[in-house]
Amino acid sequence: MKLLNYIFTMMIASLLLSGCDLNESPKFSDGDAFVGFSGSSLDVAENKGTLSIPVTLSSLGGLSSVVTYTVKDGTAKEGTNFNVNGTGTLSFTKENPVQNIEIEVINNDAYTGDLVFTIELANAGNVNMGSISKCEVTILDKDHPLSFILGTFAAVGESNFGGGLAWDVSIAKDADDITKVWITNLVPGGSSVKNPVYGVVNEEKTQLIIPIKQTLMEHASYDAVLLEGYYGGDESRIPSGGKLTVDIAADGTLTFQDIFGALVYNDLGSNDTAGWFELVLAGAKMTKK
């Protein structure tokens, strides 16, 4: 019986193979060829000049197609913030599957804030429209009044628990308020990039004020990790609603006037604390990299 089963199996396999040419190359269809942007968003500095935004026709056989696009104003206006260097059509061939939409970005001296416009593929011609058929372009304003304290800083200070500290801090602008900044990694070891804290710069641009009790980190084992502080060199805690004071020098160096750190709460409601992640003495400095 086993011998008969073996012979039967081999006969079936022989019949199946007889209908196949093992040397024949697999054939692919270009029915799924598509055109699209490489990303749905793009940031560009206002002093960029000419911006080239690639559009790709993905085709196994090297299809040709004429694709149309439109440029739509948002907060950025054509003729004021940018100009389109093109006719609204892109011609793709087998030899040139990537075409560029060229935009001239206009550099305005006055601060306007970041501005946005959109480029959208309107017609894919004889191929399919890809999943990324629209690209939102943000023109980043370089004339922010707080640009001198925006960026990455090298921070140095002394731990309240002994030893020197050195870490990186980043400061970013607020999308709407030109007096507010967002600070990431303010406390070494006790901050998370997911939880930046905010500060406000005074009118004279000589001080950065950072409210305490802001969340620095979310931790699975604790109820909260909050920014706390002590005034100057004494041991009086900054009360709820209080603020850290940071002096801003003419060269952009920031110096903390208060002791600050990340305090861990077991129960925020009862103010039951588990201790500090870190506590940095007054006099800590941040210098722009």
What's the whole-number mean pLDDT along residues 52-64?
A: 93
What is each CA distance from 164 to 7, 161, 278, 280, in whole angstroms?
Answer: 81, 10, 12, 9
CA nearest 284: which of 244, 238, 250, 251?
A: 244
CA nearest 253: which of 179, 155, 167, 165?
A: 155
CA nearest 69: which of 35, 41, 34?
A: 35
Give the residue carrying structure tokens 């008969």.
4
DSSP track, 51-103? EEEEEEEE-SS---EEEEEEEE-SSS-BTTTEEE-S-SEEEE-SS--EEEEEE
Residue 15 pLDDT greater than 50, yes or no? no
CA nearest 184: which of 223, 227, 245, 229?
A: 227
Residue 266 pLDDT greater than 90, yes or no? yes
CA nearest 115: which of 84, 101, 86, 136?
A: 136
pTM of the predicted model, to two decimals? 0.72
* pLDDT value, residue 67: 97
| Percent of the chain whose predicted confidence (pLDDT) is above 70 | 89
* pLDDT value, residue 233: 64
In the chain, what's the furthest Cα-to-Cα distance?
98
What's the whole-number mean pLDDT along residues 12-19?
A: 43
CA nearest 159: which of 254, 257, 238, 260?
A: 260
Higher pLDDT, residue 287 or 3: 287
| Percent of the chain whose predicted confidence (pLDDT) is above 90 | 82
What's the whole-number mean pLDDT along residues 171-191?
A: 96
All domains of the chain, ordered by start, with CATH? 34-140 (2.60.40.2030), 147-288 (no CATH)
d(CA 80, CA 107): 9
* pLDDT value, residue 234: 65
Q: Is the dihedral of CA 28, 30, 35, 40 positive or negative?
A: negative
pLDDT bin (cut points 50, 70, 90) of residue 6 is very low
Kindly state the tokens that stand for 39.
């990303």
What is each CA distance from 122 to 23, 140, 164, in whole angstroms?
Answer: 43, 26, 59
When mean pLDDT is compared over 4-18, 21-35, 113-127, the highest value belongs to 113-127
pLDDT bin (cut points 50, 70, 90) of residue 166 is very high
Residue 86 pLDDT greater than 70, yes or no? yes
